[in-house]
Amino acid sequence: MSFSFPILPEGHLLAIEGLEPPHIGALLELAESYALLNRSGKTQRDLLRGQTLINLFFEDSTRTRTSFELAGKRLGADVINMAVSTSSVNKGETLLDTASTLNAMHCDLLVIRHAQSGAPALLSQKVSAAVINAGDGTHEHPTQALLDALTIRRRKGRLEGLVVAICGDVLHSRVARSNIHLLTTMGCRVRVIGPPTLIPAEAARLGVEVFHDMRAGLTGADVVMMLRLQRERMTGGLVPSSREFFRFWGLDAEKLAWARPDAIVMHPGPMNRGIEIDSAIADDPERSVIGEQVEMGVAVRMAVLDVLARDLRRNA
């Protein structure tokens, strides 16, 4: 597949905000082709041959790191995982020290996850590699939004005009922010649903409708996207208890019935069963597309690596 324009003009993927519909559309097209390739069991190991991909994770992750590792290997890159201790006294110092180390190693593609919003952007100013944000603080998680969009598009045949409800801890969710930017850019009607203590300030300014009541927010939804509620939010007093949260904002069969009959259920994982989602829903093959999200994750990451590697070759 070839494109007449640079899909990621900055040479990095730091955020969804700022990408235009043609960029997102092209990434999804390419990812779709990788999804087919993956299902056929073939690989394309010559594409990134000789390139080094480093997974730099300052936060624990199994699914995202493995997904990037698999994507890199399927395209023939040399993949190295660097787990950086989260207990370092000064994470920031480690970050820029790491940047100079990576430059010395001539890393080509750098995947970074960090607990601080903006850390990948800071690193991108200091390293020669193409940087991919694999989740930074409460800012963005761009590949998650791309894989969610690809999953929705495969199930629904389109993005434009769909009603997507994003439910739960929107305040602390980088997944929610990336999805809001991507889905509104692609013409979805996006709603966020949660208690006011978990909805960010001025959320409506991001182009979404804000609901605090699940029934009102889910009515007419084509897609129900649940977010992970992190345990520490409860100790922070933002919600009084998990049982109260589940009662009012957890997704069970009763609440899902308010959405459209063909509505699909998504979750970025890992799930808190019985807190934000009932197991009966999460495991229902008729409604839940959680498994397909994981599958699309690898395809989307292959597409992103492909696009950035093209840019690297163009600039070489």
Q: In the complex, which residues of this chain contact other proteins (CB under 8 A)? A: 17, 91-93, 95-96, 114, 116-119, 121-122, 136-140, 174, 177, 200-203, 205-206
Residue 198: which residues within 8 A CB-CB, separation 6 or more?
168, 169, 170, 171, 172, 233, 238, 239
Residue 92 or 161 with smaller CB distance to other proteins: 92
What backbone torsions phi and psi does residue 183 show, to the nearest 5 degrees?
-70, -40
Question: Closer CB to other proteins, residue 55 or residue 173?
Answer: 173
Nearer to other proteins, 181 or 287 (CB): 181
CB of 110 to other proteins, least distance (A): 16
Could you tell me the smallest distance in angstroms from the CB atom of residue 177 to other proteins?
Answer: 6
On the 0-12 / 13-18 / 19+ scale of CB atoms within 10 A, 234 is middle
Pick from 156, 169, 312, 147: which is nearest to 227 by CA? 169
By CB atoms closer than 10 A (0-12, 13-18, 19+), residue 313 is exposed
CB of 138 to other proteins, least distance (A): 4
- State which residue, 200 or 250, has the beta carbon closest to other proteins: 200
Nearer to other proteins, 93 or 283 (CB): 93
Token readout for 271 is: 């799930």
Q: How many CA atoms lie within 13 A of 114 on its CB side?
A: 24
Q: What is the closest distance, in whole angstroms, from the C-beta atom of residue 136 to other proteins in the complex?
A: 7
- Of 83, 145, 160, 105, the residue nearest 304 (C-alpha): 145
Sequence-separated (6 or more) residues with CB below 8 Å from residue 215: 255, 258
Minimal distance, residue 71 CB to other proteins, in Å: 25
Min separation Cβ 17 and other proteins, Å: 7
Which residue number, 35 or 203, has a Cβ lying nearer to other proteins? 203
Q: Which two tokens stand for residue 287?
A: 């409604």
